[in-house]
Structure 1
Amino acid sequence: MTYMDIPGPRQESNDLVGVRLATAADLGWLTDLLCTSFHDDPLTRWILPDPRARRAALPGFFTVFVELSLAHGGIIVGDERESALLYLSPAGVERAQERDDEIQRRLADAVGGADAGSLLLTILGMQAAHHPSHREHYYVTFGAVHPEHQGGGAISAAMAPLLAAADREGQAIYAEASSDSGAAACLSFGFTAMGSVIRLPGGPTLRPMWREPR
């Protein structure tokens, strides 16, 4: 349904980084963190090239995804509110797909304008066409670290519980990387490239990534 852009490969210690599962009470700061982390992302710039329009639209855009993960998966967050990993559970992936029309409508309303809405629907359609359907899986939708905390092990700490759960349950994990650093981070967590890249017309690319359980 969307994409993953997380900083750098797993190369730092995360011994001192605590994490927990988010609740609905975390909605406000989670939305702020995602807006900060993705304001200059290649895909958000492609959908909303004007910085002011992007800044105005992203809170509503990310609210949809936070609420979706809280309802159909989970969000692993840093104790200091420095990081967030949004995902859908295997059952949640199916439930989210059943709500696809509603979700697309809410996202289009959030970005506003015919041009931005058309570009957004283009992304969603191409992602749906590439999304794996051969077996159940977790779906990581967003991974974010506040710029002031990058390089401190926050994303490794957030990923660890999800990797452990997927391995314990024998479930795969799917993600889409929207940057070179995001793809490198996925590789460091045991993901491999899956199929062809998603090339947006006149825009950036998404790299589908897949991780088998261990």
Structure 2
Amino acid sequence: MDIQLPEGLRPATARDWKQLGDITAEAFAEDPVNLWIFGNAQTMPPVFGELARSIYLPRGLCHLHGDTGATMWAHSAQSRELSILQTMRLVWSLMTKGEKGAAKRGLGAGEAMAREHPAAPHMYLFTIGTRKAARGQGLGKKLIRPVLEAADRTSLPCYLENSNPANTGFYISHGFERMKLFEPGPGGPPLEAMWREPRQPLGSE
């Protein structure tokens, strides 16, 4: 994909996994689904960092805006399975830092998301988020647009699971539409599966 990054946005590298985890965790600290899974916000930095290190940096696309914003993407054809060692590291974080049952809820949510994932080829937006101090400055738009525009140029749809109803309007404003609501596990807050058909790039016929 020909991704054209604006000034201030850069591709993340392998050494950025912890920063990706920290920014994402702060962005999701009050997220209903993630709080239900983990039980607290302290579990989020190591978990999101491990997912960045194991999946989205080596197999996907990650972007950083200084230390204020981050995204993690992957093409649907790319495996997002964890190795045994990676799974053990993730479960260890959940068991030692999360509330009782966090590991079971986390693994169950991953299975639910995999079951509901569309089969058609697409770009998958796993996470997008900013530090609290950077909110309300248009950074979310700056973070999401490069991959959406690249997907449009290649006629590729995009997909995400929205875990916070407060963000629905943001995603709708960028062309996403609700597919369905589904539970990440028994009694969990709903995830909103959202799909975006590619748009015709400006200036094209």
TM class by shorter chain equals 0.7 to 0.9
Higher relative CO (CA 8 A, sep ≥ 6), structure 1 or 2? 1
Does the 8 Å contact 1:72/1:91 carry over to 2?
Answer: no
Query: Quick one: structure 1 residues 128 and 103, their matched pair in 2 at CA, closer, same or farther if it must change by over 3 Å?
Result: farther
Does the 8 Å contact 1:193/1:208 carry over to 2?
Answer: yes
Specify the code of the residue in structure 2 equivalent to 1:73.
G
- Given candidates 111, 115, 119, the residue that maps to 2:105 is 119
Which one has the bigger helix percentage?
Answer: 1
Distance in 1, matches of 2:85 and 2:188, equals 26
- Within the alignment, does 1:84 sit opposite 2:70 as a pair? yes
Specify the code of the residue in structure 1 equivalent to 2:8.
G
Shift of 1:147: 0.6
Does the 8 Å contact 2:38/2:44 carry over to 1?
Answer: no
Distance in 1, matches of 2:134 and 2:7, equals 11
Does the 8 Å contact 1:31/1:63 carry over to 2?
Answer: yes
Residue of structure 2 equivalent to 1:212: 197
Distance in 1, matches of 2:195 and 2:129, equals 19
Specify the code of the residue in structure 1 equivalent to 2:189.
P
- Within the alignment, does 1:129 sit opposite 2:115 as a pair? yes
- Given candidates 124, 137, 153, the residue that maps to 1:152 is 137
Distance in 2, matches of 1:58 and 1:127, equals 18
Uncovered stretches (5+) of structure 1, i.e. residues with no partner: 1-15
Does the 8 Å contact 1:17/1:154 carry over to 2?
Answer: no
Specify the code of the residue in structure 1 equivalent to 2:11.
L
Distance in 1, matches of 2:134 and 2:124, equals 24
Specify the code of the residue in structure 1 equivalent to 2:116.
H
Uncovered stretches (5+) of structure 2, i.e. residues with no partner: 1-5, 200-205
Distance in 2, matches of 1:85 and 1:143, equals 4
The alignment-based identity, stated in percent, is 29
Secondary structure in 1 aligned to 2:187? coil
**What TM-score results when the alignment is normalised by the length of structure 2?**
0.83
Distance in 1, matches of 2:177 and 2:149, equals 17
Aligned length, in residue pairs? 189
- Over residues 1-22 of structure 1, what are the superposed CA-to-partner deviations in whole Å (9 max), with x where a residue is unaligned? xxxxxxxxxxxxxxx9731211
Residue of structure 2 equivalent to 1:3: none
Query: Quick one: structure 1 residues 178 and 148, their matched pair in 2 at CA, closer, same or farther if it must change by over 3 Å?
Result: same
Secondary structure in 1 aligned to 2:77? helix
- Over residues 19-51 of structure 1, what are the superposed CA-to-partner deviations in whole Å (9 max), with x where a residue is unaligned? 1211123223222212222222212221232x4
Does the 8 Å contact 1:198/1:206 carry over to 2?
Answer: yes
Secondary structure in 2 aligned to 1:190? coil
